[in-house]
Amino acid sequence: MSYKPRPGEIPTNPGVYRFRDADGRVLYVGKAKNLRARLSNYFAPLHTLHERTRRMVLSAASVEWTVVPTDVDSLQLEYQWIKEFDPPFNVRYRDDKSYPFMAVTLGDEAPRVLVTRNRKIRGAKYFGPYPKVWAVHETIDLMIKVFPIRTCSDASYKKAMQSGRPCFPGQIGRCGGPCSGRVTIEEHRAIVEDFVAFMAGGDQRFTKDVTARMRAAAAAMDYEAAAVYRDRLQAIDAVLNKSALVLAEDTDADLFGIAEDELAAAVQHFVIRGGRVRGVRASTIEKELDISGADLVDQVIQRTYGNASGADIPRQVLVPALPEDAAELTEWLRERRGKNVSIQVAQRGGKADLMKTATLNAQQALMVHKTRRTSDYVARTRALTDLQEALGLEEAPLRIECFDVSHLGGTNVVASMVVFEDGLPRKDQYRSFSVAETTDDTDSIHQVLTRRLAYLDRPEPDAEVAGDGTAPKRPRFAYRPQLLVVDGGQPQVQAAERALRDAGHEEIALCGIAKRLEEVWLPGEEYPVILPRTSEALYLLQRLRDEAHRFAITHQRKRRRRDIQSVLAEVPGLGDARIRALLRHFGSVTALRGATEEQIAELPGIGPKLAASIRAHLSGG
């Protein structure tokens, strides 16, 4: 990598770094306690990097860093830059918008409570989400018996205030806003504040207060008032019983259950106030780089509390694993909250049991996230239909073939072909290609597609049934695709278009998906097609591209290992252990041929004499 910093250039201070592409776009933002130690990991031999990390460093054209005084400062700067630049290789969150919330519109003159899935109401305070819409309505019905706040729409409220007649909910006792004439706007605001405090976890204070008033009314023989307070207590108990008491009554905490695989993760955020689960927030994460579970916890905490007010940050944050910079994260949260905050791993007791529940929910959510898009017939149909419309195809592409080229510094060039039918992979029809001589990726694409398309013109097998009663098999590659996808942008699409034209198969549709902005390129078009991030069609193309890339890398590694082992096995005195050491260090026979005797001799167990033998053997070969 030409932009690799020189030894000693990178400081050992804490700081934040950015990888940029040739156009200056920020690809990835990260933080480090020691910039030199962290960045050196990205400039390790390419074959040792995870495939997505390798893709990022090869897409980048420069790296820059900013030194900061403390690790806490690096947290803040990293969060700001991720929000500002939205780097494509940082983890991406998708909030689960399928659950309804209870919202209190504190920004209104007379705030109201409503059920909504809209998380962008200005000035609103949200509670939940709830698993079912009826559960929110039932909670509101119970709560307005204790806290008679407005439930009518803004239009009904405005009409009632102008006419002087209460709104319909007010007439039947389901709205206690100012339009009913029972309270003033100031008194209503005070009731709303009590309602918000109760829902945020202050139920003990209200229970004690209502109990005291009920007893005082009974002592004064005001039994009607005592009955009203009794009904309010029952309503409070009914609301509280909807949320099981899982921890001590004074526990205020946020608990995060996480389930992950190589490509995605699901997060279940349990909001615990007053020892009870007040709500569950769900999100899924798309991981562009291979990160550990502890690093994922770090990102989740930053994302959750980056824009949170001090009142939304609890005393405890319970996580499945402590991130490396847990002390700095704790200090960052303490500064935002203005009070002490602790980050802990739930190891035993009620907290550990609740963590198991949250993790189980996260595992189920991850499974649903993956299977909903791959196995669900409706989702697959939508993806194919959306792709047909976006690319202007006459019919939905029921068979799609995707091609990717992989190489190591211009050597060991291989290509892969993966096949999806009806939106599902057909691994029995995957193929790999070796490219002996090529000038660049576009030439490789042209060669591979030319070889693949040649099979379409071979004659069909004789239709007669064989002597054993079995029908003749179709030759490999005989099935015609409706759509070809190449990994790359406009140059790769042009090379593929030339191969289709040369083969006389211009009736087959073609597109390319570029990694930089996930744009889709069509032949002859000056500008790409931009699919929405949430599009099922884009998700299908990404799965095709990633699967083709994975299959190409797998084939390249097997071939490289086989080639280098076969060549080195002929060197006298070189056993399997030393061959594996050379394989790990140099990665290919070509790279080893370019090494000097001194560089070869640096490896443990290989002295100058053996290095000279290896060099002589490779030069002669």
For residue 483, give the CATH number of its domain: 3.30.420.340
- Give yes or no: residues 288 and 430 share one domain: no
- Give yes or no: residues 326 and 450 share one domain: no
Q: For residues 363 and 376, what is the distance between their CA atoms, to the nearest angstrom?
A: 18
Flag whether 10 is in a domain. no
Residue 57 maps to which CATH number?
A: 3.40.1440.10
Tell me, what's the pLDDT at 463? 44
Tell me, what's the pLDDT at 568? 67
Q: What are the CB-based long-range contacts (under 8 Å, 24+) for 324-329?
A: 324/33, 324/294, 324/295, 324/298, 325/31, 325/33, 325/71, 325/75, 325/298, 327/71, 328/70, 328/71, 328/72, 328/74, 328/75, 329/75, 329/298, 329/301, 329/302
Residue 325 maps to which CATH number?
A: 3.30.420
Tell me, what's the pLDDT at 406? 81
Flag whether 96 is in a domain. no
HSE-CB at 158 with a 13 A cutoff on CA atoms is 4
- Domain containing 69 equals 15-89
Total Cβ atoms within 10 A of residue 64:
12
Tell me, what's the pLDDT at 484? 93
- Give yes or no: residues 52 and 115 share one domain: no
Collapsed DSSP state (helix, strand, coil) of residue 140: helix
Flag whether 2 is in a domain. no
Contacts of 18 (CB under 8 A, 6+ apart): 26, 28, 29, 63, 64, 65, 81, 85, 87
Q: Which of 327, 343, 373 is the last residue of a domain?
A: 373
Helices (DSSP H) in 504-601: which residue ranges?
536-568, 576-586, 589-593, 597-601
- Give yes or no: residues 363 and 445 share one domain: no
Tell me, what's the pLDDT at 19? 92
Q: For residues 453 and 451, what is the distance between their CA atoms, to the nearest angstrom?
A: 6
Flag whether 3 is in a domain. no
- Give yes or no: residues 553 and 573 share one domain: no
What is the token pair recorded at 315?
A: 């005393």
Q: For residues 186 and 178, what is the distance between their CA atoms, to the nearest angstrom?
A: 9
Which residues of the chain have a pLDDT value below 50?
242-245, 463-466, 621
Core vs surface per residue 35-63: b (16+ CB within 10 A) or e: bbebbeebeeeebebebbbbbbbebbbeb
Tell the burial category of 273 from Cβ atoms under 10 Å away from its Cβ (0-12, 13-18, 19+).
buried
Q: How far apart are the first and last CA of the chain?
A: 28
| Mode of pairing for the β-strands spanning 399-408 and 483-487 | parallel
HSE-CB at 426 with a 13 A cutoff on CA atoms is 16
Helices (DSSP H) in 401-529: which residue ranges?
441-453, 490-503
Q: Which of 315, 347, 373 is the last residue of a domain?
A: 373
Contact criterion met (CB below 8 Å) for 256 and 268: yes
What is the token pair recorded at 568?
A: 């080195």
Collapsed DSSP state (helix, strand, coil) of residue 349: helix
Tell me, what's the pLDDT at 87? 86
Q: Peptide bond before 131: cis, by omega within 30 degrees of 0?
A: no
Tell me, what's the pLDDT at 247? 63
Query: Could you give phi then psi for residue 20, rounded to 5 degrees?
Result: -120, 155
- Give yes or no: residues 234 and 272 share one domain: no
Q: For residues 431 and 433, what is the distance between their CA atoms, to the nearest angstrom?
A: 7
What is the token pair recorded at 396?
A: 């939905």
Q: Which of 89, 116, 141 is the last residue of a domain?
A: 89
- Give yes or no: residues 537 and 419 share one domain: yes
Q: For residues 461 and 471, what is the distance between their CA atoms, to the nearest angstrom?
A: 10
- Give yes or no: residues 362 and 455 share one domain: no
Which of 163, 377, 172, 353 is CA-nearest to residue 270? 353
Flag whether 492 is in a domain. yes
Which of 373, 377, 370 is CA-nearest to residue 535? 373
- Give yes or no: residues 210 and 65 share one domain: no
Length of the chain equals 621
Count of H-run helices and E-run strands, the chain: 20, 19
- Give yes or no: residues 80 and 128 share one domain: no
Q: For residues 365 and 98, what is the distance between their CA atoms, to the nearest angstrom?
A: 12
Flag whether 469 is in a domain. no
Please list the helix, strand and coil fractions of the chain in percent, rounded to the nearest 5, in that order.
Answer: 45, 20, 35
Tell the burial category of 75 from Cβ atoms under 10 Å away from its Cβ (0-12, 13-18, 19+).
buried
Name residue, tokens 């305070």.
Answer: 125
Flag whether 465 is in a domain. no
Q: How many domains does the chain have?
A: 5
Tell me, what's the pLDDT at 459? 61
Contact criterion met (CB below 8 Å) for 131 and 100: no
Flag whether 382 is in a domain. no
* Amino acid making up residue 413: V
Tell me, what's the pLDDT at 511? 92
- Give yes or no: residues 483 and 407 share one domain: yes
Q: For residues 442 and 435, what is the distance between their CA atoms, to the nearest angstrom?
A: 12
- Give yes or no: residues 117 and 194 share one domain: yes
Tell me, what's the pLDDT at 224? 80
